[in-house]
Amino acid sequence: MTILEAKETGASAPPAGKPRLRARGGRAAGLLRSPGLLVAYLWIVVILLAAVHPGLFATGDPLRQDASQMLLAPSPDHLFGTDDFGRDQFTRTAWGTRLSLQAAIIAVAIGLVSGSLVGLVAGALRGRADSVLMRVVDIMLAVPSLIVSLAIISALGRGTLNIAVAIGINSTAGFARLMRSEVLKVSNAKYVEASVFAGHGYVRRLFKHVVPNASRSVLAAATMDIGTAILTVAALSFLGLGAPPPTPEWGLLVAEGRTFIGVQWWLSLLPGLVIVVTVLAVYRVGRSFNRGRTHVVA
Protein backbone atom coordinates (compact mmCIF):
# COMPACT_ATOMS: atom_id res chain seq x y z
CA MET A 1 0.00 0.00 0.00
CA THR A 2 1.70 3.07 -1.16
CA ILE A 3 1.28 6.67 -1.87
CA LEU A 4 1.75 6.86 -5.56
CA GLU A 5 1.90 10.56 -6.08
CA ALA A 6 1.30 13.79 -4.34
CA LYS A 7 -0.12 16.40 -6.55
CA GLU A 8 -0.75 20.04 -5.85
CA THR A 9 -4.26 20.81 -6.87
CA GLY A 10 -4.47 24.29 -5.45
CA ALA A 11 -2.30 27.24 -6.33
CA SER A 12 0.41 27.48 -3.70
CA ALA A 13 0.53 31.24 -3.67
CA PRO A 14 -2.34 33.62 -4.13
CA PRO A 15 -1.94 35.75 -7.24
CA ALA A 16 -0.54 39.22 -6.75
CA GLY A 17 -2.88 41.69 -5.22
CA LYS A 18 -5.93 39.42 -5.09
CA PRO A 19 -7.78 39.78 -1.83
CA ARG A 20 -6.63 36.82 0.15
CA LEU A 21 -9.57 34.61 0.96
CA ARG A 22 -7.64 32.37 3.29
CA ALA A 23 -9.38 32.28 6.63
CA ARG A 24 -7.28 33.06 9.64
CA GLY A 25 -7.63 31.78 13.15
CA GLY A 26 -5.58 28.63 12.78
CA ARG A 27 -6.37 25.00 13.29
CA ALA A 28 -8.66 25.35 16.30
CA ALA A 29 -11.19 27.49 14.44
CA GLY A 30 -10.97 25.11 11.50
CA LEU A 31 -11.87 22.24 13.81
CA LEU A 32 -15.03 23.93 14.99
CA ARG A 33 -16.14 24.53 11.44
CA SER A 34 -15.62 20.91 10.56
CA PRO A 35 -17.42 18.62 13.02
CA GLY A 36 -16.26 15.55 11.09
CA LEU A 37 -12.64 16.44 11.73
CA LEU A 38 -13.36 17.08 15.39
CA VAL A 39 -14.96 13.65 15.76
CA ALA A 40 -12.00 12.09 13.94
CA TYR A 41 -9.56 13.69 16.38
CA LEU A 42 -11.64 12.60 19.37
CA TRP A 43 -11.79 9.02 18.11
CA ILE A 44 -8.03 8.97 17.63
CA VAL A 45 -7.57 10.18 21.20
CA VAL A 46 -9.86 7.36 22.42
CA ILE A 47 -7.95 4.78 20.38
CA LEU A 48 -4.59 6.04 21.64
CA LEU A 49 -5.87 5.85 25.22
CA ALA A 50 -7.07 2.31 24.59
CA ALA A 51 -3.67 1.40 23.20
CA VAL A 52 -1.82 2.82 26.19
CA HIS A 53 -4.32 1.85 28.86
CA PRO A 54 -6.97 -0.64 27.70
CA GLY A 55 -8.16 -1.02 31.29
CA LEU A 56 -9.80 2.40 31.02
CA PHE A 57 -12.38 0.96 28.65
CA ALA A 58 -12.63 -2.69 29.61
CA THR A 59 -11.82 -3.77 33.13
CA GLY A 60 -12.00 -7.49 32.42
CA ASP A 61 -9.31 -9.91 31.32
CA PRO A 62 -9.27 -10.41 27.55
CA LEU A 63 -8.11 -14.00 27.93
CA ARG A 64 -10.56 -15.13 30.63
CA GLN A 65 -12.73 -17.97 29.36
CA ASP A 66 -16.18 -18.76 30.73
CA ALA A 67 -18.00 -21.82 29.46
CA SER A 68 -21.31 -20.51 30.78
CA GLN A 69 -21.10 -17.34 28.69
CA MET A 70 -20.46 -18.74 25.22
CA LEU A 71 -21.57 -16.96 22.05
CA LEU A 72 -23.81 -14.41 23.73
CA ALA A 73 -25.37 -11.65 21.69
CA PRO A 74 -24.34 -8.03 22.38
CA SER A 75 -25.86 -6.72 25.60
CA PRO A 76 -25.02 -4.04 28.16
CA ASP A 77 -22.86 -6.64 29.93
CA HIS A 78 -21.06 -7.71 26.78
CA LEU A 79 -21.15 -4.81 24.33
CA PHE A 80 -19.75 -6.89 21.46
CA GLY A 81 -21.10 -10.24 22.73
CA THR A 82 -18.93 -13.18 23.71
CA ASP A 83 -16.96 -15.66 21.61
CA ASP A 84 -17.00 -19.43 21.56
CA PHE A 85 -14.79 -19.58 24.65
CA GLY A 86 -17.04 -17.20 26.50
CA ARG A 87 -14.51 -14.37 26.31
CA ASP A 88 -15.87 -10.83 26.20
CA GLN A 89 -15.36 -9.61 22.64
CA PHE A 90 -15.41 -5.91 23.60
CA THR A 91 -12.65 -6.45 26.12
CA ARG A 92 -10.66 -8.33 23.52
CA THR A 93 -11.17 -5.55 20.99
CA ALA A 94 -10.05 -2.89 23.48
CA TRP A 95 -6.97 -4.91 24.43
CA GLY A 96 -6.29 -5.63 20.78
CA THR A 97 -5.85 -1.93 20.04
CA ARG A 98 -2.31 -1.83 21.38
CA LEU A 99 -0.88 -4.55 19.16
CA SER A 100 -2.67 -3.37 16.01
CA LEU A 101 -1.74 0.24 16.48
CA GLN A 102 1.84 -0.55 17.49
CA ALA A 103 2.36 -2.61 14.35
CA ALA A 104 0.91 0.11 12.12
CA ILE A 105 3.05 2.83 13.68
CA ILE A 106 6.22 0.74 13.52
CA ALA A 107 5.45 -0.05 9.89
CA VAL A 108 4.99 3.59 8.92
CA ALA A 109 8.05 4.64 10.92
CA ILE A 110 10.21 2.12 9.07
CA GLY A 111 8.79 3.13 5.70
CA LEU A 112 8.99 6.84 6.43
CA VAL A 113 12.56 6.87 7.67
CA SER A 114 14.08 4.51 5.14
CA GLY A 115 11.96 5.78 2.27
CA SER A 116 12.74 9.42 2.99
CA LEU A 117 16.44 8.68 3.15
CA VAL A 118 16.42 6.78 -0.12
CA GLY A 119 14.30 9.47 -1.78
CA LEU A 120 16.47 12.27 -0.46
CA VAL A 121 19.65 10.60 -1.62
CA ALA A 122 18.16 9.90 -5.05
CA GLY A 123 16.73 13.38 -5.45
CA ALA A 124 19.82 15.15 -4.16
CA LEU A 125 22.48 13.14 -5.99
CA ARG A 126 20.50 12.62 -9.20
CA GLY A 127 22.42 11.02 -12.02
CA ARG A 128 23.28 7.35 -11.83
CA ALA A 129 22.55 6.84 -8.13
CA ASP A 130 19.08 8.21 -8.75
CA SER A 131 18.41 5.91 -11.71
CA VAL A 132 19.55 2.81 -9.87
CA LEU A 133 17.56 3.60 -6.71
CA MET A 134 14.45 4.48 -8.64
CA ARG A 135 14.62 1.29 -10.72
CA VAL A 136 14.70 -0.68 -7.49
CA VAL A 137 11.71 1.30 -6.25
CA ASP A 138 9.89 0.63 -9.53
CA ILE A 139 10.51 -3.09 -9.12
CA MET A 140 9.12 -3.01 -5.59
CA LEU A 141 6.06 -1.13 -6.77
CA ALA A 142 5.53 -3.57 -9.63
CA VAL A 143 4.49 -6.36 -7.28
CA PRO A 144 1.21 -5.84 -5.38
CA SER A 145 2.01 -4.72 -1.86
CA LEU A 146 0.09 -7.54 -0.23
CA ILE A 147 2.08 -10.11 -2.23
CA VAL A 148 5.36 -8.42 -1.29
CA SER A 149 4.31 -8.42 2.36
CA LEU A 150 3.43 -12.09 2.09
CA ALA A 151 6.80 -12.89 0.54
CA ILE A 152 8.62 -10.98 3.26
CA ILE A 153 6.64 -12.79 5.93
CA SER A 154 7.43 -16.16 4.39
CA ALA A 155 11.08 -15.21 4.75
CA LEU A 156 10.85 -13.73 8.25
CA GLY A 157 8.18 -16.00 9.66
CA ARG A 158 4.88 -15.17 11.34
CA GLY A 159 4.29 -12.62 14.09
CA THR A 160 2.94 -9.12 14.50
CA LEU A 161 6.37 -7.51 14.56
CA ASN A 162 7.31 -9.31 11.36
CA ILE A 163 4.11 -8.06 9.77
CA ALA A 164 5.07 -4.51 10.76
CA VAL A 165 8.56 -4.97 9.32
CA ALA A 166 7.14 -6.41 6.11
CA ILE A 167 4.73 -3.52 5.64
CA GLY A 168 7.48 -1.06 6.54
CA ILE A 169 9.91 -2.45 3.99
CA ASN A 170 7.15 -2.53 1.46
CA SER A 171 6.05 1.07 1.97
CA THR A 172 9.64 2.25 1.71
CA ALA A 173 9.25 2.31 -2.06
CA GLY A 174 6.25 4.62 -1.98
CA PHE A 175 7.87 7.03 0.47
CA ALA A 176 11.11 7.00 -1.51
CA ARG A 177 9.31 7.92 -4.68
CA LEU A 178 7.30 10.66 -3.00
CA MET A 179 10.32 12.12 -1.21
CA ARG A 180 12.34 12.11 -4.41
CA SER A 181 9.65 13.84 -6.42
CA GLU A 182 9.19 16.42 -3.67
CA VAL A 183 12.94 17.02 -3.48
CA LEU A 184 13.10 17.49 -7.23
CA LYS A 185 10.08 19.76 -7.24
CA VAL A 186 11.31 21.92 -4.40
CA SER A 187 14.83 21.99 -5.88
CA ASN A 188 13.35 23.43 -9.04
CA ALA A 189 11.59 26.17 -7.12
CA LYS A 190 13.00 29.57 -7.91
CA TYR A 191 13.67 30.35 -4.27
CA VAL A 192 15.98 27.37 -4.02
CA GLU A 193 17.85 28.40 -7.13
CA ALA A 194 17.97 31.94 -5.82
CA SER A 195 19.62 30.73 -2.62
CA VAL A 196 22.78 29.86 -4.58
CA PHE A 197 23.44 33.59 -4.73
CA ALA A 198 23.69 33.68 -0.95
CA GLY A 199 27.03 31.90 -1.18
CA HIS A 200 26.25 28.87 0.96
CA GLY A 201 27.32 25.34 0.10
CA TYR A 202 25.05 22.78 -1.46
CA VAL A 203 24.42 20.72 1.67
CA ARG A 204 23.40 23.75 3.68
CA ARG A 205 21.05 24.89 0.98
CA LEU A 206 19.63 21.39 0.74
CA PHE A 207 18.88 21.21 4.44
CA LYS A 208 17.77 24.81 4.80
CA HIS A 209 15.40 25.05 1.86
CA VAL A 210 14.78 21.70 0.21
CA VAL A 211 14.45 19.24 3.08
CA PRO A 212 12.02 21.24 5.26
CA ASN A 213 9.69 21.99 2.37
CA ALA A 214 9.88 18.52 0.86
CA SER A 215 9.35 16.68 4.13
CA ARG A 216 6.14 18.55 4.86
CA SER A 217 4.38 16.68 2.07
CA VAL A 218 6.00 13.41 3.03
CA LEU A 219 4.98 13.75 6.67
CA ALA A 220 1.46 14.66 5.65
CA ALA A 221 1.40 11.55 3.48
CA ALA A 222 2.67 9.47 6.39
CA THR A 223 -0.41 10.32 8.45
CA MET A 224 -2.55 8.88 5.67
CA ASP A 225 -0.29 5.87 5.48
CA ILE A 226 -0.94 5.00 9.13
CA GLY A 227 -4.54 4.31 8.11
CA THR A 228 -3.41 2.12 5.25
CA ALA A 229 -0.98 0.31 7.55
CA ILE A 230 -3.75 -0.43 10.06
CA LEU A 231 -5.72 -2.01 7.23
CA THR A 232 -2.78 -4.09 6.02
CA VAL A 233 -1.84 -5.24 9.51
CA ALA A 234 -5.42 -6.32 10.03
CA ALA A 235 -5.49 -8.06 6.65
CA LEU A 236 -2.32 -10.05 7.34
CA SER A 237 -3.48 -10.97 10.85
CA PHE A 238 -6.79 -11.98 9.36
CA LEU A 239 -4.87 -14.39 7.13
CA GLY A 240 -3.37 -15.87 10.25
CA LEU A 241 0.13 -14.53 9.74
CA GLY A 242 0.24 -12.32 12.81
CA ALA A 243 0.08 -13.11 16.48
CA PRO A 244 -0.96 -16.65 17.46
CA PRO A 245 -4.66 -17.13 18.46
CA PRO A 246 -5.39 -16.29 22.03
CA THR A 247 -3.67 -12.93 21.64
CA PRO A 248 -6.20 -10.13 21.12
CA GLU A 249 -5.54 -8.37 17.81
CA TRP A 250 -8.10 -6.66 15.54
CA GLY A 251 -7.57 -8.62 12.35
CA LEU A 252 -7.36 -11.89 14.25
CA LEU A 253 -10.61 -11.16 16.10
CA VAL A 254 -12.37 -10.72 12.78
CA ALA A 255 -10.84 -13.98 11.53
CA GLU A 256 -11.84 -15.90 14.65
CA GLY A 257 -15.41 -14.69 14.42
CA ARG A 258 -15.57 -15.71 10.78
CA THR A 259 -16.78 -19.19 11.58
CA PHE A 260 -19.89 -17.74 13.17
CA ILE A 261 -20.62 -15.14 10.51
CA GLY A 262 -23.91 -16.81 9.57
CA VAL A 263 -25.47 -16.40 13.01
CA GLN A 264 -23.22 -14.58 15.50
CA TRP A 265 -22.20 -12.02 12.88
CA TRP A 266 -21.32 -9.44 15.52
CA LEU A 267 -18.24 -11.36 16.53
CA SER A 268 -16.54 -10.43 13.29
CA LEU A 269 -18.34 -7.29 12.25
CA LEU A 270 -18.16 -5.24 15.45
CA PRO A 271 -14.36 -5.44 15.82
CA GLY A 272 -14.30 -4.86 12.04
CA LEU A 273 -16.32 -1.69 12.53
CA VAL A 274 -13.75 -0.44 15.04
CA ILE A 275 -11.06 -0.93 12.37
CA VAL A 276 -13.16 0.94 9.80
CA VAL A 277 -13.90 3.88 12.07
CA THR A 278 -10.26 4.14 13.12
CA VAL A 279 -9.03 4.10 9.53
CA LEU A 280 -11.65 6.66 8.53
CA ALA A 281 -10.60 8.92 11.39
CA VAL A 282 -6.92 8.64 10.45
CA TYR A 283 -7.70 9.37 6.78
CA ARG A 284 -9.86 12.33 7.73
CA VAL A 285 -7.11 13.85 9.85
CA GLY A 286 -4.57 12.99 7.16
CA ARG A 287 -6.64 14.74 4.55
CA SER A 288 -6.74 17.90 6.66
CA PHE A 289 -2.93 17.90 6.62
CA ASN A 290 -2.95 17.32 2.90
CA ARG A 291 -5.21 20.15 1.91
CA GLY A 292 -4.41 21.24 -1.60
CA ARG A 293 -2.77 17.94 -2.45
CA THR A 294 -4.24 14.71 -3.63
CA HIS A 295 -2.64 11.67 -2.16
CA VAL A 296 -3.57 8.67 -4.14
CA VAL A 297 -3.68 5.82 -1.73
CA ALA A 298 -3.79 2.42 -3.28
Partner 1 sequence: MARYGLRLLYGVIVVWGAFTGAFFLLYVVPGDAAGGLTAGADGADVKQLLAEQRELLGLDRPVWVQYWDALTGALRGDFGQSVYQRRPAVEVYFESFPETLKLAFLGLLLAVVLGVTLSVVIELTNWKWARELLISLPPVAVSLPPFLVGLVLLQVFAFQLHWIKAVGDPGFGGLLIASAALAVAGGGSISQLLTANLRGALTSPYVETARNWGLSRFDVLVRHALKNAALPVITSLGTTVGVMVGGTVLTETVFSRLGVGRLVVDAVDGRDMPVVLVAVTISAVIFVVVNLVVDAVHPLLDKRISWDG
Partner 2 sequence: MSSPEYVPSPGRQGKPLLRLRDVSAEFAVPGRAAVPVLDGVGLDVAAGSILAVVGESGSGKSTLGRVVTGTLPENGRITAGEVVLGGRTLTGLSERQYRRVRGKEIGYIPQDALLGLNPLLPVGVQAAEPLRAHGVGSRAERRERVLDLFAKVGLRDPGRLYGRYPHELSGGMCQRVLIAAAMSTRPRLLIADEPTTALDVTVQRTILDLLSGLVESEDLAILLITHDLGVAAERADDIAVVKDGRIVRGGRTAEVVAEPGDPYTEDLLRSSSLGFSGRQAATARLEYSRTVPADSPVVVEARRVGKTFASRHGSDPVTAVADASFQVRRGTTLGIVGESGSGKTTLVRVLAGLTPADTGSVEIDGEPVVHHRRGAGQAGLYRKVQMVYQDPFASLNPRSTVRAILDEPLRGHRYGSARERAGRITELLEVTGLPAALADRYTAELSGGQRQRVAIARALAPRPDVVVLDEPVSALDVTVQRQILGLLDSLQRELGLTYVFISHDLGVIAEVSDEIVVLNHGHIVERGAALDVLTEPRTDYVKELLTSIPGAAGPGPAVLVGPGRSATERNT
Give me the residues that bind partner 1 (CB under 8 A), please: 4, 7, 9, 135-136, 138-148, 150-157, 227, 231, 234-235, 238-241, 251, 254-255, 258, 261-263, 265, 268-269, 272, 275-276, 279-280, 283-284, 287, 294, 296-298
- Considering only 83-91, 162-170, 194-202, 220-228, which stretch makes contact with partner 2 by CB under 8 A? 194-202
Q: How far apart are CA 131 and CA 42, in angstroms?
A: 44
Q: Give me the sign of the Cα torsion angle 187, 189, 191, 197.
A: positive
For residues 179 and 120, give the distance between their C-alpha atoms in angstroms, rounded to a whole number. Answer: 6
Question: What does each C-alpha distance from 297 to 2, 13, 44, 274 come to in angstroms?
Answer: 6, 26, 20, 21
Residues 218 and 116 sit within 8 Å (Cβ to Cβ): yes
Determine if residue 17 is left, alpha or beta; phi over 0 gives left, psi from -120 to 50 gives alpha, anything else beta: left
- Residue 198 binds to partner 2 (criterion: CB under 8 A): yes
Least CB distance to partner 1 at residue 261 (A):
5
Q: Of the listed pieces 38-46, 133-141, 197-205, 267-275, which binds partner 2 according to CB under 8 A?
A: 197-205
Phi, psi angle pair for 15, to nearest 5°: -65, 155
Minimum CB distance to partner 1, residue 5 (Å)? 8
Largest CA distance in the chain: 79
Cβ proximity to partner 1: between 31 and 192 the closer is 31
* Of residues 138 and 193, the one with the C-beta less far from partner 1: 138
Instruction: Out of 135, 139, 193, 292, point to the residue binding partner 2 (CB under 8 A).
Output: 193
Which residues bind to partner 2, rule: CB under 8 A? 12-13, 15-19, 21, 23, 25, 29, 33, 189-202, 205, 208-209, 212-213
